[in-house]
Structure 1
Amino acid sequence: MTLDEFTIRPDPADPKLTERVSGLDQDGHAIETSVTVERPLTLFLNGQEVVTMMTIADYPEYLGVGYLLNQNMLKPDDTITGIDYDEETDVVVVRTERRTDYQEKLKKKTLTSGCAQGTAFGDVMEVFETVTLNPDVRLRTSWIYALSKKINLTPSLYLEAGAIHGCVLCREDRPLVYMEDVGRHNAVDKVRGYMHLNGVDPTDKIFYTTGRLTSEMVIKTVQMRIPMLVSRSGFTAWGVQLARQANLTLVGRAKGKRFIALAGTDRLVFDADPGAVGDEGKEHQRKGSRDED
Structure 2
Amino acid sequence: MDIVSRQKVRRFEAGTFQEIESSVATEYPLTIYVNDQELVTIVCTPEHLEDLVVGFLTSEGIVRGPGDIDSVDIIEATGHAQVSANFVNKFNAKYRGKRYITSCCGKSRENFYFQSDASLVNVKQNSNLKLTTDRIFRLMEKFEQNSATFHQTGGVHNAALCSSADIIYSRMDIGRHNALDKIYGRALKDGTATDDKAIIFSGRISSEILVKTAKLGCGIILSRSAPTELAINMAEELNITTVGFIRGDRLNVYSGFERIT
* TM-score under structure 2 length normalisation: 0.89
C-alpha distance in structure 2 between counterparts of 1:93 and 1:111, whole Å: 18
d(CA) in 2 for partners of 1:148, 1:233: 12
Assess if the C-alpha contact under 8 Å between 2:26 and 2:46 holds in 1.
no
Matches within 5 A, 1:208-287: 208-269=200-261
What is the CA–CA distance in structure 1 between the aligned matches of 2:72 and 2:126, rounded to whole Å?
31
- The equivalent of 2:124 in structure 1 is 132
Task: After TM superposition, give the deviation of residue 169 of structure 1 in Å.
Answer: 0.6
Pick closer, same or farther for the CA change 1:89–1:113 going to 2, 3 Å: closer
What is the aligned partner in structure 1 of residue 159 from structure 2?
Answer: 167
Residue number among 94, 105, 108 corresponding to 1:104 in the alignment? 94
Root-mean-square deviation over aligned CA pairs: 2.4
- 1:47 matched residue in structure 2: 36
Gaps of 5+ in 1: 1-14, 270-293
Distance 2:10 2:173 in 1: 26
The match for 2:138 among 133, 146, 171 is: 146
Q: How far apart, CA to CA, are the structure 2 residues paired with 1:50 and 1:108?
A: 5
Would you identify which runs of 4 or more consecutive aligned residues in structure 1 move more than 6 Å? 108-113
Partners of 1:112 and 1:236 lie apart in 2 by: 22
Measured after TM superposition, the shift of residue 121 of structure 1 is 3.4
Residues 133/81 of structure 1: CA separation in 2 closer, same or farther (3 Å cut): same
The DSSP-based 3-state class of the residue aligned with 1:72 is: coil
Structure 2 CA distance for partners of 1:113 and 1:51, relative to 1, 3 Å: closer
- Structure 2 vs 1, CA of residues 261 and 109 (structure 1 numbering), >3 Å: closer, same or farther? farther
Partner Cα distance (1:155, 1:78) in 2: 32
My pick for the range that moved more, 116-125 or 79-88, is: 116-125
Question: What is the match of residue 185 of structure 2?
Answer: 193
Match of 1:17 in 2: 3
Select the residue among 93, 109, 114 that pairs with 2:82: 93
Report whether the alignment pairs 1:70 with 2:59.
yes
* SS of equivalent to 1:94: strand
Q: CA deviation at 1:99?
A: 4.5
Normalised by the size of structure 1, how large is the TM-score? 0.80
Q: In the alignment, what sits opposite 1:285?
A: none
Number of aligned positions between the proteins: 255
Q: CA deviation at 1:196?
A: 0.7
